[in-house]
Amino acid sequence: MSGEEGWTSTGEEEESMYDRKNGYDSKTGIYHSVLQLSEQHKMPSDNLDLDTAKFVLSQFPSPAQAESQIALIDSANNQKLTYAQLRRAIASLATGLYHALGVRKGDVVFVLSPNSLLYPTICLAVLSVGAILSPANPLNTESEIYKQVRLSRAKLAISAPEEVHKLVRTGVPTLLTTRSKNDENSVSVEDLIENCDPLEMPKDRPMLSDTAAILYSSGTTGVSKGVVLTHANFVAIMKLLKFYVDVTSSQDDVFLCFIPMFHVYGLVFFGLGLFCSGVTTVLMQKFDFQAMLEAVQTHKVSNIPAVAPVILGLVKYNKDSYDLSSLRKVSSGAAPLSKEVAYAFREKFPWVELKQGYGLTETTGAATFFVTNEEAKARPCSVGMLFPSFSAKVVNHDTGEALPPFKEGELWLKGPGVMKEYFGNEESTAATITADGWLRTGDLCYFDHEGYLYIVDRIKELIKHNGYQAAPAELEAILLSHHQILDAAVVPLEDEEAGQIPAAYVVKAAGSELTEDQVIQFVSSQVAPYKKVRRVNFISGIPRSAAGKILRKELVQNKLPILSKL
């Protein structure tokens, strides 16, 4: 592994006591990455005023190349944006935000929009003026958006016209992404880009230690939290991503983006990271399987960063319907990929590399990866090796003991991507990050004798639906607000297409004639689609521990009957 192109040995492993094959130090119980970064991909130690936008823009192709090199293509209308046009758009929008709208360093800008050619411009322009980016899921309901805006203390919102009604209650000034036909007096991102000549930006730039973004996650303890990521987090992960793309792809590679950019996976990879390598990205506003196949065929897409349900779809679709011969690499993240699906994919697409990776919002989307396809094929259940500069512990949940290879425990991580904190939530931060900087992931795992990580199960109670996270505690609170429900518990139910779906056990009030459909509709009217309860089972009592904690494992093992198919 250490001989891979781009990796260099620093000599540190010779001085350390850890095993150079798997990175495990038996004295400390710490797993170190056995891979080392070359100098060009290392985190700068003497440039503390570097920030995310400054770094990403510095990696753009040269001015001569930028005029012709395509950065983005809209799959819906084939509109193209070169790197030069993207740079000019970022500069103009940053000027408008700073000089026309008064956005300043440290202000939080809330972004509510599906993917578009404008999305990366918005992200980089916000970061260019030193403001804090806070992207949210446009599928969220008005009440969910209200909570997130209040949580992040946003000073300005940028919204797609079709989503702006969800922001009215917040009272936050709102800039539309595109011109509104219903409000000719409104100002949009498009207007600022077209009408603002780039002006000099303030010299008061963010430091690496300053907050760059607040992303929303249910974290490891249940309810929605604001994950604070710094410029140091982003720059470090951008450098790791740049190395990964530089050594595994070529300049003529075409990437396909359907992962939403409000998600850490989409933001880090497509909203920021890929621009550091000068490649072309075909952008989809939202995921549609047939449209994805058409985009691959039309634009000769070679790389698809995906999620497990999409890979399952590729396994099942009629191979002769579209020409996918241009595909060379498919990666899987955000949710586990089963061994069976991985085998079936490789059998159907033997020429395509398939690799899994692992990361969290709390680690800026990164932690482990595979360098080569051969490694991934040999270990279909693994999520790869630790990124350089990351370290890990496998901790016995009961004793706190750090465990050796092949022993299962909770995964703890430390590295340059680990978040600063949960915004305004000291209690949750302390419960997730130890005093000496280890992030408790809540995932059950083990390392093998070669340093490859295997995620076995979730200790945390989150439900992963198509890569999104649904918190049982949030859904239970909604269920318990119904006057005919005495008690409720929500658990994950395995689903071949979505990975998991939220399923509810409900205790009805005496004499209630409440039906499954009524419960499902009651919840769905208050949450985003991916959080909807999809199964309901009425029972006489919820199993709880002596301390009152719901014994979810007992409910999961009961296996809910399939009462309806939504």
pLDDT at residue 36, as a whole number: 74
C-alpha distance across the termini of the chain, in Å: 47
Laid out side by side, the sheet with 329-332 consists of 80-82, 70-74, 280-283, 254-257, 303-306, 329-332, 353-356
525 token code pair: 């009217």
Return the pLDDT at 218: 58
Write out the residue limits of the CATH 3.30.300.30 domain(s) in the chain: 462-555
Instruction: Classify domain 462-555 by CATH number.
Output: 3.30.300.30
Counting as low any pLDDT under 70, the low residues of the chain are: 1-16, 37-49, 182-184, 218-223, 246-251, 334-336, 457-458, 460, 545-549, 559-566
Strand partners, 174: 157
Q: Could you give the CA distance from residue 142 to residue 168 in angstroms, rounded to a whole number?
A: 9
Compute the residue count for the chain.
566
Pick the CATH number of 51-68+80-230 from 3.40.50.720, 3.10.129.10, 3.40.50.980, 3.20.20.150: 3.40.50.980
Q: In angstroms, rounded to a whole number, what is the distance separating the alpha carbons of residues 461 and 467?
A: 15
Question: CA-to-CA distance for 74 and 310, rounded, in angstroms?
Answer: 20
CATH 3.40.50.980 residue ranges in the chain? 51-68+80-230
User: What is the four-CA torsion angle of 412, 418, 422, 424, rounded to 10 degrees?
Assistant: 130
Count Cβ neighbours within 10 Å for each residue of 203-233 and write b for 16 or more, e otherwise: eebbebebbbbbbbbbbbbbebbbbbbbbbb
Walk across the sheet containing 156-159 and list its strands. 174-176, 156-159, 108-112, 132-136, 211-217, 225-230, 421-422
Element (H, E) at 295: helix 289-299
3, two tokens: 């001989």
Instruction: Give the SS3 label for residue 287.
Output: coil
Q: Say how far apart CA 518 and CA 493 lie, in whole Å.
A: 20
Instruction: Please tell me whether residue 368 adopts helix, strand or coil conformation.
Output: strand
Beta-sheet strand order (sheet of 391-395): 24-25, 30-32, 391-395, 409-414, 439-447, 453-458
Q: State residue 130's pLDDT score.
A: 94
The pLDDT tens digits of the residues spanning 192-217 come to 999 988 877 777 888 899 999 999 88
Question: Which residues have a Cβ under 8 Å from the Cβ of 506 and sit 6 or more positions away?
Answer: 479, 485, 487, 488, 514, 519, 536, 537, 538, 539
Q: In whole angstroms, what is the distance from residue 420 CA to residue 364 CA?
A: 10
